[in-house]
């Protein structure tokens, strides 16, 4: 089974929150903490569905049953931090864009890496995140799910 986990990510930019509030016609500044949380969750969900980073992240991929010596990485890979086996031993590897080619096969492989934001796609993905977040804010989860299906 493959598990993908975001270890850390950059913060939501203040201008994104303001743009979201304008998009969703929310004038109340007293809800900024809640709106930031909704927007952050929307951004993370959209970037997961699009397989493209909106926020700079550190991601860990764990494959506890690898089928060979290759591992696929997700989103916009910037650099690999480390590749280890299930016991934490460093594994030798070669990187080719979003693929890791291991020098040896292991029973479990963990890869930690950082992502980078693609400035070409971030604006359109942010618009999708605003749409998704607006439906979530309004409690319209069916429409929110439709937004994600179209990513």
* Pair 64, 15 in one domain: no
Q: With respect to residue 4, please indicate whether it lies within any of the assigned structural domains.
A: no
Check pLDDT > 90 for residue 114.
yes
Domain that holds residue 29: 11-55+119-149
Alpha helices in the chain (DSSP H): 14-23, 32-50, 122-138, 141-149
Q: With respect to residue 6, please indicate whether it lies within any of the assigned structural domains.
A: no
* Pair 46, 81 in one domain: no
Helix (H, G, I), strand (E, B) or coil at 18: helix
Mean pLDDT across the chain, nearest whole number?
94
Q: How much is the pLDDT for 133? A: 98
* Pair 105, 61 in one domain: yes
* Pair 136, 63 in one domain: no
Q: How much is the pLDDT for 66? A: 82
d(CA 20, CA 133): 8
pLDDT in tens, 32-66: 999 999 999 999 999 999 999 999 999 999 998 88
* Pair 33, 71 in one domain: no
Q: With respect to residue 70, please indicate whether it lies within any of the assigned structural domains.
A: yes
Residue 100 makes CB contacts below 8 A (sequence gap 6+) with 70, 71, 72, 73, 80, 83, 93, 94, 109, 111
pTM, full prediction: 0.89
Q: Which of 9-13, 118-122, 130-134 has the lowest mean pLDDT?
A: 118-122
* Pair 62, 99 in one domain: yes
* Pair 37, 21 in one domain: yes
* Pair 108, 124 in one domain: no
- Give the count of domains, the chain: 2
Distances (CA, A) of 2 to 16, 66, 149: 32, 8, 22
* Pair 89, 111 in one domain: yes
């Amino acid at each position: 089974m493959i598990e993908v986990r975001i270890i850390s990510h950059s913060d939501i930019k203040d201008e994104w929150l303001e743009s979201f509030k304008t998009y969703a016609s929310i004038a109340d500044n007293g809800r900024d903490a809640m709106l930031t949380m909704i927007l952050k969750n929307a951004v993370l969900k959209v970037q997961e569905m699009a397989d493209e980073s909106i926020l700079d992240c550190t991601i860990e991929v764990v494959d506890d049953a690898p089928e060979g010596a290759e591992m696929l990485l997700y989103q916009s890979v910037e650099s690999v931090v480390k590749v280890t086996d299930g016991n934490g031993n460093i594994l030798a590897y070669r990187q080719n864009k979003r693929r890791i080619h291991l020098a040896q096969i292991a029973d479990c492989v963990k890869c930690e890496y950082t992502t980078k934001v693609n400035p070409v796609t971030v604006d359109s993905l942010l618009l999708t995140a605003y749409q998704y977040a607006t439906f979530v804010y309004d409690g319209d989860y069916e429409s929110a799910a439709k937004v994600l299906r179209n990513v």
